[in-house]
Amino acid sequence: MRSNAKVSSISFDLLNSSQKKQAKQLHHLLAEIQLPELENDCHLSEFPLKVPKHFAKQIQLKNPTDPLLRQILPVNQELETNEHYKKDPVGDLDKNPLPSLIHKYYGRVLLIASPKCDIHCRYCFRRHFPYENQSNNRAWHQAIDYIQADDSIHEVILSGGDPMSLSENVLLKLSQKIESIQHVKTLRIHSRTPVVSPTDAAQKEWLEWAKTTALNIVLVVHCNHPNELSTQTHELFKRYQQAGLHLLNQTVLLRSINDSVDVLEKLSHALFAQSVMPYYLHQLDKVQGAAHFQVADQDALILHQALRERLPGYLVPKLVQEVAGEPFKTPLYELADENGI
């Protein structure tokens, strides 16, 4: 049986156990949002549908173009091939000197804290990442030794997967190991969990530790649309702020989801109302299976200019593209100048 199979073209009896589970989850989700006819537009894959209950409840009923639904539904367009879209679009594997460790930028390293996420975003640039042996105790020990030996590293970034998919005890122990390295001053965590499943991100003991650590702790959450925010996220962000965390947000620019100045303006205001500062607006990483989300660079630049005209500077996220091999995130304006856009 093919791992990438159109739901409408296969018999349930012919599916393996993993595919049957996917098919049942897809059927249940679409029944819940009253859009069963969308099954014909979906497929089963090695990157399966995964959506937490909180996020699913934010999806508007009977709306096939709902911006939250579009982010998680495994549509058949993902099966289309495009030579410009790759499995490793940002060059992670070229900067992966040890299992679990990615060292791209001066002064900071990224630690793959978990191979799991609470949600599977269809545009995820690591949807094809080989997580095997990338996040376990042995890999972490090697990574900690690597960081300890390089005193130019002042910041450790926990990513994945999603660090907050770890048990609280494991996240706390990993954070404390990083805290013990004298030259590390900042712990940065990138997580989608606080937005998509806030009850799973309410780490009590970890937050108590955060109040006492000498580390600067930066939490970069990932919210693409104002409809993702809720009273639950607001309450959680208050708790994070009380624990001394610096709260930032990164957004991915996605066609037919948030490629509108009205939506992005509303998102910046909604984030600020919940004590989160807009940080990055990412141009899509060209990962295999995500071409249908692409917004043309010229359109992105026009959109960002309109956003600058509407918002105060502190609420305008930086429009950037990650280019494999470059030592920093590149402002899209610079790439446009180079390419004559």
- Same domain? 39 vs 140: no
Q: Is 271 among the domain residues?
A: yes
pLDDT value at 1 more than 50? no
- Is 243 a residue whose pLDDT tops 60? yes
Residues 216 and 306 reside in one and the same domain? yes
Residue 227's pLDDT band (cuts 50, 70, 90): very high
pLDDT tens across 252-300, in order?
A: 999 999 999 999 999 999 999 999 999 999 999 999 999 999 999 999 9
Q: What is the pLDDT of residue 303?
A: 98
How many separate domains does the chain show?
Answer: 2
The domain that holds 129 is classified in CATH as 3.20.20.70
Q: How much is the pLDDT for 7?
A: 65
Of 249, 201, 247, the closest CA to residue 225 belongs to 249
Asked if residue 208 and residue 333 are part of one domain, the reply reads yes
**Which residues partner with 191 through β-bridges?**
221
| Digit-coded pLDDT (tens) for 103-157 | 999 999 999 999 999 999 999 999 999 888 676 778 888 999 999 999 999 999 9
Mean pLDDT (the chain, rounded): 93
Is residue 309 scored above 90 in pLDDT?
A: yes
pLDDT at 3 over 70: no
Chain Cα centroid distance, residue 275: 19
Instruction: Compute the average pLDDT of residues 75-104.
Output: 94
pLDDT bin (cut points 50, 70, 90) of residue 2 is: very low
- Mean pLDDT on 18-26: 88
**Residue 41 belongs to some domain of the structure:** yes
pTM tops 0.75, yes or no: yes
Mean pLDDT on 171-197 = 97
Domain, as residue range, for 16: 5-79
With respect to residue 88, please indicate whether it lies within any of the assigned structural domains: no
The verdict on 69 and 143 lying in the same domain is no
CA atoms within 13 A on the CB side of 174: 28
289 falls within a domain: yes
In a shared domain, residues 120 and 67: no
Q: Report which DSSP code applies to 61.
A: T
pLDDT of residue 78: 95
Considering the domain architecture, whether residues 294 and 151 belong to the same structural domain is answered as: yes
pLDDT above 90: residue 14: no
Question: Looking at the structure, do residues 194 and 143 belong to the same domain, yes or no?
Answer: yes
The residue from 79, 102, 120 where one domain ends is 79
Angle ∠(191,176,110) on CA atoms, nearest 5: 45
pLDDT at 138: 80
pLDDT classification of 13: cutoffs 50, 70, 90: low
**pLDDT of 57 strictly over 60:** yes
Alpha helices in the chain (DSSP H): 17-32, 53-58, 67-72, 137-148, 168-179, 193-196, 204-212, 231-242, 261-273, 297-310, 332-339
What is the per-residue pLDDT for 10?
54
Residue 60: DSSP 8-state: P
Tell me the mean pLDDT in the region 204-232: 97
- pLDDT attached to residue 137: 74
When pLDDT is averaged across residues 60-69 and rounded to a whole number, the result is 98
Packing angle between helix 297-310 and helix 332-339, nearest 10 degrees? 140
Q: Are residues 49 and 153 in the same domain?
A: no
What number of other Cβ atoms are within 10 A of residue 231's Cβ? Answer: 9
User: Is the bond preceding residue 340 a cis peptide, omega within 30 degrees?
Assistant: no
